[in-house]
Amino acid sequence: MFSQYFGHYLLNRGLITNEQLQDVLEFQEKVHVKFGVIAVDKGLMTPSQVEEVHEKQKQMDKRFGEIAVELGYLTEEQVEELISHQKQGHLYLAQALIDRGYMSMEEFSSALNEYKKEYSLSTEDFEEIQSGNIETLVENILTKGHEDIREKFGSYISLFAKNMIRFIDRQTFLEISENLQQAKWLASQEILGSPSLFTAIAAEDEALLYIASKYAEENLTEIDELAKDAFCEFLNLHNGIYLVNMSNWGTELSMNPQKLEENVKVSGEFVTITVKTQKGTFHLLLSANPEKVEVQ
């Protein structure tokens, strides 16, 4: 996920174009090999074992390696070996930028150093972000300057980013934006307890179909009941894992059934997180005061 953030940093400073950014991110996607694929390729796990771990990830917020160790399919040492194959994401980005002539190595190194300074990233923080620590990225980059949002929603946003990467799109990029006012499709669900939350994802047709297709694991081309259900179920899945996390931390919550509404206006007290994917943009809406959110 770091490559997406650093790539947008380069874009926003005019060091590369949007076309160049998409090109190098696509290159990185081709180079990146999923953890389970590496495990099977090395003869450490079978395809059915990998699928079992993936199913477990729909129930709990744990990394592939953690679950594989708990199930007895991998040792801690084997997990560390496999992780080493996935830690060099920024190097793939650098290689693509340099190979295609978009930047020189000196330009890349200079921009990377400026990036670390701008976000006050320590060596430890940077290594954590490189290795896929979403919480550190959310705390130090995504919510920098938005301490109130971090305090109220940091753990929820971190988990949402993880679940987007796990189930929908590895190239997910999140940023805090101005509040959404209208939505073509709005899947919402209220989390009950203390703290209560209003949660929703708002999308246009293309983004809805993309999320639904990825979640349902089939190519959906029209917004029918299957697509609508899959779109809503992704939110429900995410919130279910969030409730498990909160329970593990000593807070018991429940949630209402999710619902889907079309062509609505949203007003009141909430924050909007813009979520960019390879196939369009959608929005995550959150409020710590559900009674102050109006959907009509």
**CATH code at position 209:** 3.40.1550.10
Based on the fold, state whether residues 83 and 189 are members of the same structural domain.
no
Contact between 141 and 119 (Cβ < 8 Å): yes
Based on the fold, state whether residues 168 and 126 are members of the same structural domain.
no
Q: Give per-residue burial for 259-277: e unless 16+ CB within 10 Å, then b.
A: eebeebebeeebbbbebbb
- Asked whether the predicted pLDDT for residue 81 surpasses 90, the reply is no
Cross-strand pairs, 203: 185, 282
In this prediction, what percent of the chain has a pLDDT beyond 90?
Answer: 59
3-state helix, strand, coil in the chain (%, to 5): 55, 20, 30
- Average pLDDT (24-30) is 77
pLDDT of residue 37: 72
Classify residue 206 by burial, with Cβ atoms within 10 Å: 0-12, 13-18, 19+.
Answer: middle
Based on the fold, state whether residues 105 and 18 are members of the same structural domain.
yes
pLDDT of residue 88: 57
Count of structural domains, the chain = 2
Q: Which of 75, 109, 140 is a domain's end point?
A: 140
Based on the fold, state whether residues 123 and 207 are members of the same structural domain.
no
Among 175, 171, 231, smallest CA distance to 206 is for 231
Cross-strand pairs, 189: 199
Based on the fold, state whether residues 210 and 86 are members of the same structural domain.
no
Based on the fold, state whether residues 251 and 131 are members of the same structural domain.
no
Based on the fold, state whether residues 127 and 190 are members of the same structural domain.
no
Q: Which residues contact 245 (CB under 8 A, 6 or more apart)?
A: 61, 155, 159
pLDDT in tens, 84-141: 765 555 667 887 888 888 988 889 889 988 999 999 988 888 888 877 788 999 999 9
Q: Which residue has the higher pLDDT, 202 or 62?
A: 202
Contact between 279 and 210 (Cβ < 8 Å): yes
Domain assignment of residue 117, given as a range:
2-140
Q: Which of 96, 120, 140 is a domain's end point?
A: 140
| Lowest mean pLDDT, pick from 32-36, 92-96, 180-184 | 32-36
Among 232, 242, 259, smallest CA distance to 197 is for 242
- Average pLDDT (199-226) is 96
**pTM for the whole structure:** 0.83
Based on the fold, state whether residues 55 and 28 are members of the same structural domain.
yes
pLDDT of residue 150: 94
Based on the fold, state whether residues 210 and 291 are members of the same structural domain.
yes
Contact between 201 and 235 (Cβ < 8 Å): yes
Based on the fold, state whether residues 267 and 131 are members of the same structural domain.
no
Based on the fold, state whether residues 198 and 171 are members of the same structural domain.
yes
Q: What's the DSSP call for residue 296?
A: -
pLDDT of residue 87: 54
Based on the fold, state whether residues 15 and 116 are members of the same structural domain.
yes
